[in-house]
Structure 1
């Protein structure tokens, strides 16, 4: 039995043992108060182990109740005793509270006005209309993904689960996310760790992400295996194929899953041997140029019998993406979708400098990709997703206004299944069973309960988006654009997103003149045959 396990259950075990010893000495009346106390605590501990709604109590019987007791006292005391300086965590206290409330179907309103400083630089809001629109049905907020070269287009929700791999998350966490996706009719991105039995158990729609390790479709040397890919892609549960070029938190960086963390399930899911470190290279071996990337996309589309195929990236050198765009024109091959991640995205396995200082933030990357496709008259044939610290309905509205067709969220859905940001993902000791492979710890996460919370969070977030749109005089997200969002630039100036950002005109990169010197220079530097920049 591990030391960790002993420490988690030691107090509960001591209470049980004390109760049993006390029962043997009932004739000693002076022991009765102690016996009553230990018996009461033992009953609380047994109740903690049997209940299914709070993972911390299941993993820390008796002691775990301290967290929930603190939550019940005054907010300012809770701030310091429970969470400390919580706003310095990757997601603020307010964001977590919003997700928890929506996941539990609780009201998310606030008394006595906003806690935000509306005169602080960076404050953002949606302008409302003097004539609000009728409230739209959030179930209609869907987008058809699949261009002219796709034979099996997918009708996706406007809000989906972003890439999180089995291995990073526990089997129970994957099951809860996928079942929640099935209940709410939205998509669950597998992450690059491939499709596990936990993804398949409840039948929720999957976006299969393929990274540089080609997990689930690799040969013994780690190279892409077309036959294995075709076998997996044939599953009706797989709705789209996503090639991961880079991710926001560590773009241009590979990864290693140490051999001591590779279980038999992970080995079978990824197609890697046990007893060896599992390496994700920093770049793909199947292609080395924009044209080769598009040829790989065409190959995957054919092998998957025409399912939508696209790629995900955190934007880096602008000329590299424009090189892909030039390759689209030269080859005639188009991705069905592109997902833009941002440097603000999260992972438990990124060097600090990468997390803080590498890669383009999501909104800037999204706007650049959107503008490039508009400037080439390709935007209506390629759908754009956005992923990077999206939690609320307002976050979704912001990315839709500057070019996204849909949004993905990772950490928000993790909160919905119980994540408390303990920042212990890398230790395999997650207290809520979300990010651990310890069978006893992940037992605390009850799939049925947390799947319903995933569903609730998705539904309530889209309902909030519908309410915001109606207040702005809009009946559907398609009507939202950069004129409707506003940002405070200083104490005395605000600007519409339409004033703050530059938007290219349709065909501007093809026909000219190109009004932006930056876009003109990047277009000149881009090459279809190489990711290297041409001399400008």
Structure 2
């Protein structure tokens, strides 16, 4: 074989060309100019840095936002593989904020068919949304764990469809995100319609809200069970969003009610209201027009307007039927660094402060509280229930159950798993049948472990957990303190009666899951 035909000859030629280009032609990258070959290797390693750190550098409990142990538990649960842990824990029990759940000497001995009786892993919410304000269509979520708002456009069509079919199997609801209801949200699951500042899907072309379009959407889609008015979200409270023109396809334009080929802006704030009375009036008008319960979603910072809202609700007996409190650690949406890292409080303190405001006004038994912010793990979900949550929403954990590897490329449209991209090629690797089953299995495992731990504490339903059942490590001389002392309140006692009565409720959602299992 001649030297010209040798593969090594051509490799050397390519490397020489790269060196000449970097040293004498390109001026953009100093590293590549000074160190031609090593510089390219450095940029390549930088690109795959998150993946390398996940599996080679970081230890099991180190990486954020989700460490390897957390991700492994989700992956194993979604595949029905062994998700157990051997040889004891590798956690630092003395780390500040470490959660200890206090089990009872003799817990609640659940019947053998506790989960198989109605649906494997099914635990309906203890409260009914919209009953207090006498909405025409009150709603009891079939599951205490549901899918948080993630828009079509931010997530791919196949990812949304996989999650919706999985939600149908599990009986949980699926929040649309502010991108509005897409065809991929209509695979059989209960749906909560999220309305953001741009009023996507229920707007005129000029961006103004259209009540007629909202009513039409509700009438044409009986799977819509509630409306969530998004004031802000954990990743970027007080910051609008923008979908670049390159991603505004004909399909997305039709779903959102925007023009093709133009940047789609989400304002930082709503145009329909600027005061608390106007907010409540807007909620009441939507509830009256659609018959659905209406709630609000918000990240938490200043508390003065929350105090004003509680005072107004107490006086007029009007306002949101549910409140979704999003922790600042939330983050399926891309956000500027400072917003993601420093604006709004983390879930624990955010929820505690808002809950206490409504508790002082004797409203906690009239509002359905949804907790959101990295709560897709049994111990974290149980802490939320102990603090007063009625259900929890999960987002990134749901994404991981269908294959997300935390590559942290959601904002680049190059998600390697096809979950957070519009690329048809990258989406082609998603098997919807397989991925929907994996979400269902993760959801089933999560709910069952939440219930099992509640039983170990002596309760039939997670809503019965109290703040005295959770101890927090203070990181000081091995000292712990109860959640009630650490956060300064005790939640309003649960009015739970009986597990079976939850399934007999006329407002119970998850119809497809119930019909499937009763057949």
Normalising TM by the smaller chain, what interval? 0.7 to 0.9
Structure 2 residues not aligned, in runs of 5+: 1-50, 116-120, 493-519
Cross-structure match for 1:524: none
Cross-structure match for 2:467: 482
Question: Deviation at 1:470?
Answer: 1.6
- Of 480-489 and 145-154, the range deviating more from structure 2: 145-154
Aligned 1:142-161 pairs, distance under 5 A: 142-143=125-126, 144-149=128-133, 150-156=135-141, 157-161=143-147
Please state whether the residue corresponding to 1:94 is helix, strand or coil. helix
- Normalising by structure 1, we get a TM-score of 0.77
Are 1:204 and 2:189 counterparts? yes
Deviations 1:299-351 (A, max 9, x none): 110121x2110000011211011111122134331211000001100134201
Contact 2:332 2:395 in 1 (8 A): no
Aligned with 2:319 (options 331, 334, 344): 334
Question: Deviation at 1:83?
Answer: 4.8
Aligned with 1:293 (options 279, 283, 289): 279
Are 1:85 and 2:58 counterparts? yes
Q: Distance in 2 between matches of 1:393 and 1:385?
A: 16
Q: 1:79 to 1:215 in 2, by over 3 A?
A: closer
- CA RMSD, 1 decimal: 1.6
Cross-structure match for 1:303: 289
Q: Distance in 2 between matches of 1:400 and 1:424?
A: 32
Contact 2:148 2:175 in 1 (8 A): yes
Paired residues in the alignment total 427
Aligned with 1:252 (options 238, 241, 257): 238
Question: Deviation at 1:466?
Answer: 1.5
Q: Distance in 1 between matches of 2:65 and 2:54?
A: 19
Question: Deviation at 1:505?
Answer: 8.8
Cross-structure match for 2:348: 363
Aligned 1:59-458 pairs, distance under 5 A: 82-85=55-58, 87-135=62-110, 137=115, 138-143=121-126, 144-149=128-133, 150-156=135-141, 157-200=143-186, 202-234=187-219, 235-304=221-290, 306-458=291-443
- Normalising by structure 2, we get a TM-score of 0.80
Question: Deviation at 1:474?
Answer: 1.6
Q: Distance in 2 between matches of 1:203 and 1:108?
A: 29
Q: Distance in 2 between matches of 1:268 and 1:80?
A: 40
Q: Distance in 2 between matches of 1:432 and 1:419?
A: 6
Question: Deviation at 1:504?
Answer: 7.0
Question: Deviation at 1:103?
Answer: 0.5
- Of 257-266 and 135-144, the range deviating more from structure 2: 135-144
Q: Distance in 1 between matches of 2:140 and 2:366?
A: 15
Q: 1:79 to 1:219 in 2, by over 3 A?
A: closer
Deviations 1:408-458 (A, max 9, x none): 010110001100011111221111110110111111111100000111111
Contact 1:210 1:244 in 2 (8 A): yes
Q: Distance in 1 between matches of 2:430 and 2:67?
A: 23
Structure 1 residues not aligned, in runs of 5+: 1-77, 507-536
Q: Distance in 2 between matches of 1:169 and 1:275?
A: 19
Contact 1:141 1:476 in 2 (8 A): no
Contact 2:303 2:354 in 1 (8 A): no
